[in-house]
Chains A and B, each alone.
Chain A
Amino acid sequence: MTEPAAPVEETAAVASAAAVTATTLEAAAANPLRDPRDKRLPRVAGPCVLVLFGVTGDLAKRKLLPAIYDLGNRGLLPPGFSLVGFARRDWANQDFAQLTHDAVKEHARTPFREEVWKQLAEGIHFVPGEFSDDGAFDALAMALKEIDQTRGTGGNYAFYLSVPPKFFPTVVQQLKRTGLADAPEGSWRRVVIEKPFGHDLQSAHELNEITNEAFPESSIFRIDHYLGKETVQNIMALRFANNLYEPIWNRSYVDHVQITMAEDIGLAGRAGYYDGIGAARDVIQNHLLQLLALVAMEDPTSFEANALRREKEKVLKAVRLPADLSLNTARGKYAAGWQGGEKVVGYLDEEGIPADSVTETYAAIKLEIANRRWAGVPFYLRTGKRLGRRVTEVAVVFQKAPHLPFSKDDTEILGHNALVIRVQPDEGITVRFGSKVPGTAMEVRDVSMDFAYGESFMESSPEAYERLLLDVMIGDPPLFPHQREVELSWKILDPIEEFWATQGQPEDYPAGTWGPPSADEMMARDGRVWRRL
């Protein structure tokens, strides 16, 4: 059933989505062995093939292949699951199997077990070729047909494009030409793409046109691995499963919100990609604005993809930029300095970076949300490389108590109450509040109440990619951003990027510190400070 307000294109998308997922969901509903009350049985993907483009890349080796193994180890891969690698290498199946084996041994989260590896290895195939080579894709189509017969995968394919965006058009065209993008009746075809989803609104739009030519929106899964993280999903649990926070989650009680993603590393070999893109496009456009949407949105009517995406879109649409961008944004690039006891070079001295680069490695922006809940509450977003340490968090900082019955001296060092959602590392939630210091005098000071994920739940929660890959294979889209969200995010960032483009070189900050002075000045103008992390 579709909601009456849904626009026409969405209604169509919902209908086709229903048709595509029918094989899995309908059969599951008719399955006599499944029962919603039987919570021990995990969600297992139906029979399918995962085709991985870019198997030799860093992401494949460090995250994707280990995640596939971990899924297998947890019993979540279907019998007959097959993995097909495609790359420009003169390899046979066993060479790819060897690469997978090494990647799994080195990076898998769960212990290596021979029988799980055996199950996985049986389904590993490799197709060599270039993206522009028609013959190679014809060979891929043939190989997939054969796998359907020998492994019983029923024509269900997921194509994971772990390749630079410039290859997207070629690969998508090839999938269309060979008919691999069209699902026959009763099976599905899905495509998974990684960020960056363009570098501005227009390019994002063009990229989507290209993908849309071959795949309908409902079959496109955009991976923002942050959304696969347990802590990020827990934002929704925290807000909507509890009664404790929602009453104060608004402009009457919240002073401002700080969303931070700080990295201690520099470019780490990504110079070619990073220069010209910069911190804001790399991090704010996707991760931080998604976090903002989850923290600020209204409660969705359900956790189905449509309901959730609609709320996120609403809040992204309500985001307003400050009138004077020069006073309410800051950007910087790291200069040589000491980071965590190590001497490191400045951005312009990094290998592969031109000496006149104007790319920022630090970006901070102030946003407002024009709706009844948030009017007047600033959201400060910041991200940077070569900062003091690696940390990602969302801090909701509350207003000071309207009246303090204590003398001024008693509460001199009392700060704002705050609720901090620590996304990584050391996932958890901290609540900061004032407490009496033991002793005869009435002195109130800030203390923290702490919930650590690792302390109350699993020793190691599943990697984001495990969850996301499983969702792709099951066809469950809530954790994947919709194209509309991508475009709305670019609409927020584009004017800022345009403004920055007229401002010349970003300000320097020494590596290992917390960003340029202009970022602190920006907060000081509002009478606030960045949290010391």
Chain B
Amino acid sequence: MTSFMLTDTTAGKISGQLTRLRHQMGAPAVGMVLTLVVVCDERDQYDSVRSATEAAREHPSRILVVINRESDEANRLDAELRVGESTPGEVVVLRLYGELTSHADSVVSPLLLPDTPVVAWWPGDAPAVPSKDPIGMLAQRRITDAKTVPDGIKVLAGRAKGYAPGDTDLAWARLTPWRSLLAAAFDQPVDKVKKGFVDAAAGNASAPLLAAWLSERLGAPVKVADSAGPGLTAVRLTVDGGEIAVTRTDARLATLARPGQPDRHVALARRHTSELLAEELRRLDSDEIYEAALKRLSRTYKG
């Protein structure tokens, strides 16, 4: 890993230094497929960069980390460049001071890889309408995370109004294994679902999304009920002659039960942020299924 610090610098100098570093390492060819812009606080920086670099193993990226520091200091841009053997891409940590904090896009846009997709990720606080945010406007895909903010469900419900194709939330990505298992259970003929419940720890932002998706697809009311957790603990769907249920109490192994059939165990572990991020980066087109679930969530949300 080669690391390089630049203080009081500009995007042009950063760009030049990156090229020099790559030449020095003897790897001038770039196989990077996208630019990932991470907008976060100083305290989230370490974990976010770690997750992003891990996801970059699957999707070699230029990772631009934007950290807004004191806005009442003098205007200044500090940058930390990391080009390493351990990761296939590059990391640039940008620290913005003064008035520059409200013009981050002017720093980011010259550093984007040409003619490749741009993804923006807010690991913590995110703008209410990501597609109207200066950084969000540069990106094809905008990833937020309702789990990490207080009152995540409310934030999620509010985001439906400003939804634009390309918006997505890690609370939705966390549901993929659950949705995949439920869909597999419905690959065998199933009677009409009458109603259902999603059990989850109070305040879990994924639970109402899952309930919204299920009601949308099954045409039956699916409600959220509180449980002791951790995370999502069960989905129970009432059908003629019984209940189709997926229960998981230890956040690792789930049990699938359906009428007239033996119970079966299925691995259903919670995933790391890096895995969620890698899933998001795999498909860069808009996610209509998420849109439908999000809009239903917002219609039924009673804050």
A residues contacting B by CB (< 8 A) are 24, 27-28, 30-35, 37-42, 44, 46-47, 72-73, 75, 78-80, 113-116, 118-119, 122, 149-152, 154, 450-452, 454-459
Contacts and interface: CB of A to CB of B under 8 A. Distances in A.
Interface of B: 29, 31-33, 57-60, 88, 173, 176-177, 179-189, 214, 217-219, 252-253, 256, 258, 261-262, 264-269, 279, 283, 285, 287-289
A35 B289 contact: yes
A151 B187 contact: no
Given A114-B252, A118-B253, 16 more contacts: A30-B189, A31-B187, A34-B183, A39-B283, A40-B279, A40-B289, A44-B183, A46-B187, A72-B267, A75-B181, A79-B185, A79-B266, A115-B267, A119-B253, A119-B266, A454-B88
A154 B188 contact: yes
Nearest to A32: B217
11 contacts: A34-B183, A38-B289, A39-B285, A40-B287, A44-B187, A46-B184, A46-B187, A75-B177, A79-B266, A458-B57, A458-B58
A209 to B, nearest CB: 35
Contacts of A38: 179, 289
A33 B186 contact: yes
Contacts of B287: 39-40
Given A31-B187, A115-B269, A118-B265, A41 B31 contact: no
B31 A451 contact: yes
Contacts of B179: 33, 38, 40-41
Given A33-B179, A42-B180, A44-B180, A27 B265 contact: no
A459 B187 CA distance: 31
Nearest to B246: A79
Given A450-B29, A451-B31, A457-B59, A27 B187 contact: yes
Contacts of A24: 187
A116 B252 CA distance: 9
A192 to B, nearest CB: 22
A32 B217 CA distance: 6
B283 A152 contact: no
Contact of B183 (A33, A113, A119, A458): A33
Nearest to A45: B184
B262 A455 contact: no
A150 B187 contact: no
Closest 10 CB pairs of A and B: A455-B31, A152-B261, A116-B267, A33-B183, A115-B267, A115-B252, A79-B264, A115-B253, A459-B57, A38-B289
Nearest to A451: B31
A41 B176 contact: yes
Nearest to A24: B187
B183 A41 contact: yes
Contacts of A35: 217, 289
A430 to B, nearest CB: 11
Task: Output the residue of A32, A80, A150, A451 with the most chain B CB within 10 A.
Answer: A32
Contact of A113 (B184, B189, B267): B267
